Structure 1
């Protein structure tokens, strides 16, 4: 345990300033330093590294069964995109250790080309967050965070899984830390033939094989008690073959490689803290129109990022937070008309927090982006949290958010449009949290208005082009019920959620495609001594696939159930067995591409 002489500046669970005298503390370093402040005002669903093992196929499966995010996947392991609250993938921000990592070209993240393993926690935040997390944080944000702790000595773990369709997942992680230094590294390799069959359609997932490799490494060093430098990097390599419907059809594939690296310097004094980050991210991708031919198209995107986060306490009630960021975004395409483009992006954000009492706090924020060749508006946000009693808390959030056009939207040939305006949204939600005994219930109604939607439409010239045309609104309800209880050696954790999303095109008053109005999920985790059992269910309502709500092409409702058991010996050795899609249900999230029916996996884990 480390002994720190000096006053320690912390946010408490009530958001107040704690001035602690000399005390014994365990120190951890979280790369996304804003996340603890976000949690003071917004519900954040956090998935721990241990919970990842339940849905270890890919990030799509994990989010589908353990969050409120709707996942649209073109077959298992293929192109996959998320949607919050009736929005789109472009209106979802992926944030890696506090850095927005949406693609320069597409303006979104392909979930199955983002690693599943190697994070210490995954956070899911619904609702707008552009003031803090930038372009694309309209419907919500997905946070992939790494943590480095101190005074923990050496720890290691190995996870290995064998699953249906010749699927193999292997993950190894090691860490070492003392009072001044912390180091962590991990690696993952996943590969699958992925040739599942769906008899309902006489379908075989031909040419669906994939593999991906990930390496994560991080380190932190305390220069003094007040100054710390840290480093985190991720290297990812992936290959996806795209399914074909006939054995004689031309087989295609997509390959991608990404690099993410950041260096951080943190300065924590008595009344202020400052976090400075310098980051570099790179994405490379190649599409092959035929497996045995050279690439048909591709591109390379590079981002150089500087970000400074200054936080100052005027006193125990008032807190000022200033964030400045500058990026250079570069892109070079291959056979896409994007020859060599570069864009400078800067932003200034300010947040003022007021802790009126132990149970009442407010936050107001603004942000101005300066995007080269794009006119961007001033964003703002307001949040309030009132813990009215021991059984009821009330939260209110109002914000203006945006997404500026991607490189493809502007420069792709043919079809790019240099006159595009950013997408703008205004939204409000109200979080109601009830606590009764071992139960906790969150009920959040919301409303969102979106203008200047960027859509690609067919033209008279025979190609598709990007336009600002649609206006949309989305309103609905998110609810989540959780229960936890321990009886001697018995531990029970249960969750359930219901999500209603009405997302309409204002011109047609029709539900937007691939937005189910009704969804629900539930899960139970039971543990007794060395034995553990879990089950998780997902229900998805009718989903239209066209803008005119055509019933015959819609995706029918479905229910999926997964279950698994495991045993842990000496708190070190775990052996588990899982059954996915226990009910052998035929289902799909995208027309023509069904997902697997009943399948199995066996896994082993060692912690030392």
Structure 2
């Protein structure tokens, strides 16, 4: 049934394309991989991280997002498994979107941010709040967007970035781009490796069996077939090996190998006031977990996903409309999986209207269909009202959902095929003031989540997933940005972010584990023509580690201070040299109970262009 539904819709798409031929305003030529991200976000808070910020920091995606956003990360030790929490939700309720495609693991329903290197992306966007209408299952708390957009015109460029730091940590990246008439090409390779053997003062030993290495090969290609048609290719191959740090000297040594591929071909067509894009993608996940390196015992799983999506855009006066048809087929195999397969088809309709000069609203709708669940009808509403040129109010509400992962459904001797999707109703209301030097934003949010999936022991002591929990999350987020020019070529920048989050189990009234009430970060930067200095501060409040909120079982709050000095040498291959000092106060802290994090560390980084 699902196959028939998809092919009928795709077959009708050419007629939809020519249904409107009124001559109105002309759309600009775009080379965006995720145009919905830029266009349909009315009423939602969004953070944009440019390539200049990405390249000025380490290759760790976790580190960048902790410094630049409200997202809370739970790391099982530095470089180990890293999961994100948006507005008090779980890791599986945060969507990671690569060039417009949701890449959360089909097995766990979440993404491990320490298997993704940030170095090769053109930009990263963070969208808070529900987004299931656009990105499907999992986009309940928010979404992280990894983009490889192409500018309209690129020049030949070679860029080499190398770095070395404490704990024998190496980072290296090579980037090449060029354009030959109608053909554009960007290639990049990045690698990050570390012995990760920092001191653990409380245990009078080093971090043992914590070494890791991660690699990322990326390609972006665009070919202008004619004035109205362009063919694009986006590719990513991520692979690596991580040993998991030992809690005790007597523990067996373990490690995790992963190899993931992402390939997408897109055909974009553009006319006066219309656009269409057909995307074909193939994604794979492959991993092997070694539970005892001395005995060489292991388990492995592999996932294959095929993705088809058609998008049609039209602009008419002050109206934007977008219809999206998508279909994905996923299969998985592994030592602990049985009959893991899923086919999902969906149709979305997005509508945006600037009703008045100072008022804009949007309505988005989505219906998914699959053979295993009764998928809910999803929708979102958003509005922005401009009181003055510098003062705006925004509002957004949405219904979102998450399908159970393959491990939840098909795990041998543990899976539960009777699970229901998680359902969430979310709303937020905020205001923003934008002056010449100062920007300020504050947002209040509320999320009502039902049928949350938890793994619990049954009457026989076997752990199985069940729909048991209802959760309310609510709170407030605030951010400021201030820029002041001291003199020609000199500037001071200040950015601050704060969030207060309550994530409450409705049955017990307790805060969910590993959700801090308070979280904040700040960055103060002085920029000169030839050099700059950045000071970073990050604070994470205490978190409970037991569901009964026992105060004797919690990870204490911590705050970290980092500093970075950078010098530019335009006369020498347009180079930039940076020195970083992280956790400069050498504070002992943990992000997860009994998982120590590094103390003070240093690194040096050089970027050259030729």
TM above 0.5, one fold? yes
Work out whether residues 235 and 263 of structure 2, in 8 Å CA contact, stay in contact via their aligned partners in 1: yes
Instruction: Measure the CA separation in 1 of the matches of 2:368 and 2:204.
Output: 51
Deviations 1:105-159 (A, max 9, x none): 0000011112222100011111000000110000000000001224322012111
Identify which range, 43-52 or 186-195, moves more after superposition.
Answer: 43-52
Instruction: Measure the CA separation in 2 of the matches of 1:93 and 1:151.
Output: 31
Q: Which residues in structure 2 correspond to 1:236-247 (within 5 Å)?
A: 236-247=238-249
Work out whether residues 494 and 523 of structure 1, in 8 Å CA contact, stay in contact via their aligned partners in 2: yes
Instruction: Measure the CA separation in 2 of the matches of 1:150 and 1:129.
Output: 28
Aligned to 1:286: 288
Aligned to 2:468: 469
Aligned to 1:167: 169
SS in 1 for 2:412: coil
Identify which range, 43-52 or 136-145, moves more after superposition.
Answer: 43-52
Aligned to 2:564: 564
SS in 2 for 1:30: coil
Work out whether residues 174 and 189 of structure 2, in 8 Å CA contact, stay in contact via their aligned partners in 1: yes
Deviations 1:328-353 (A, max 9, x none): 0111112x1x1442211111111121
Aligned to 2:524: 524
**Which of 139, 142, 147 pairs up with 2:141?**
139
Instruction: Measure the CA separation in 2 of the matches of 1:128 and 1:246.
Output: 40
Q: What is the CA-CA distance between 1:431 and the residue it aligns to?
A: 2.0
Work out whether residues 310 and 324 of structure 2, in 8 Å CA contact, stay in contact via their aligned partners in 1: yes
Aligned to 2:392: 393
Aligned to 2:418: 419
Aligned to 1:495: 495
Work out whether residues 338 and 412 of structure 2, in 8 Å CA contact, stay in contact via their aligned partners in 1: no
Closer, same or farther: CA 18–40 of 1 in aligned 2, 3 Å? farther
Q: What is the CA-CA distance between 1:60 and the residue it aligns to?
A: 1.3
Aligned to 2:196: 194
Closer, same or farther: CA 203–59 of 1 in aligned 2, 3 Å? farther
> Structure 1: where are the runs of 5+ without partners?
1-16
Instruction: Measure the CA separation in 1 of the matches of 2:137 and 2:192.
Output: 31
Deviations 1:456-476 (A, max 9, x none): 012231221000000000000
Q: What is the CA-CA distance between 1:297 and the residue it aligns to?
A: 1.3
Q: Which residues in structure 2 correspond to 1:79-158 (within 5 Å)?
A: 79-158=81-160
Aligned to 1:447: 446
SS in 2 for 1:470: strand
Aligned to 2:347: 348
Deviations 1:398-454 (A, max 9, x none): 000000111011010221111100000001101210123311011000000000001
Work out whether residues 158 and 609 of structure 2, in 8 Å CA contact, stay in contact via their aligned partners in 1: yes
Q: What is the CA-CA distance between 1:40 and the residue it aligns to?
A: 4.7
Instruction: Measure the CA separation in 2 of the matches of 1:353 and 1:606.
Output: 43
Superposed CA RMSD in Å reads 1.6
Identify which range, 546-555 or 28-37, moves more after superposition.
Answer: 28-37
> Structure 2: where are the runs of 5+ without partners?
1-22
Q: What is the CA-CA distance between 1:181 and the residue it aligns to?
A: 1.5
Identify which range, 28-37 or 500-509, moves more after superposition.
Answer: 28-37
Aligned to 1:19: 25
Aligned to 2:363: 364
Instruction: Measure the CA separation in 2 of the matches of 1:18 and 1:526.
Output: 46
Instruction: Measure the CA separation in 1 of the matches of 2:423 and 2:466.
Output: 14
Instruction: Measure the CA separation in 1 of the matches of 2:198 and 2:59.
Output: 14
The aligned length equals: 585
Q: What is the CA-CA distance between 1:248 and the residue it aligns to?
A: 4.0
Q: What is the CA-CA distance between 1:54 and the residue it aligns to?
A: 4.4
Work out whether residues 59 and 119 of structure 2, in 8 Å CA contact, stay in contact via their aligned partners in 1: no
Identify which range, 392-401 or 429-438, moves more after superposition.
Answer: 429-438
- Which protein, 1 or 2, shows the higher relative CO under an 8 Å CA cutoff with sep ≥ 6? 2
Closer, same or farther: CA 596–18 of 1 in aligned 2, 3 Å? farther
2:317 maps to 1:316: yes
Instruction: Measure the CA separation in 2 of the matches of 1:485 and 1:74.
Output: 40
Work out whether residues 391 and 434 of structure 2, in 8 Å CA contact, stay in contact via their aligned partners in 1: yes
Q: What is the CA-CA distance between 1:198 and the residue it aligns to?
A: 2.3
Aligned to 1:380: 379
Closer, same or farther: CA 155–30 of 1 in aligned 2, 3 Å? same
Instruction: Measure the CA separation in 2 of the matches of 1:441 and 1:602.
Output: 34
SS in 2 for 1:51: helix
Instruction: Measure the CA separation in 2 of the matches of 1:47 and 1:289.
Output: 37
Work out whether residues 564 and 580 of structure 2, in 8 Å CA contact, stay in contact via their aligned partners in 1: yes
Aligned to 1:331: 332
Q: Which residues in structure 2 correspond to 1:501-512 (within 5 Å)?
A: 501-512=501-512
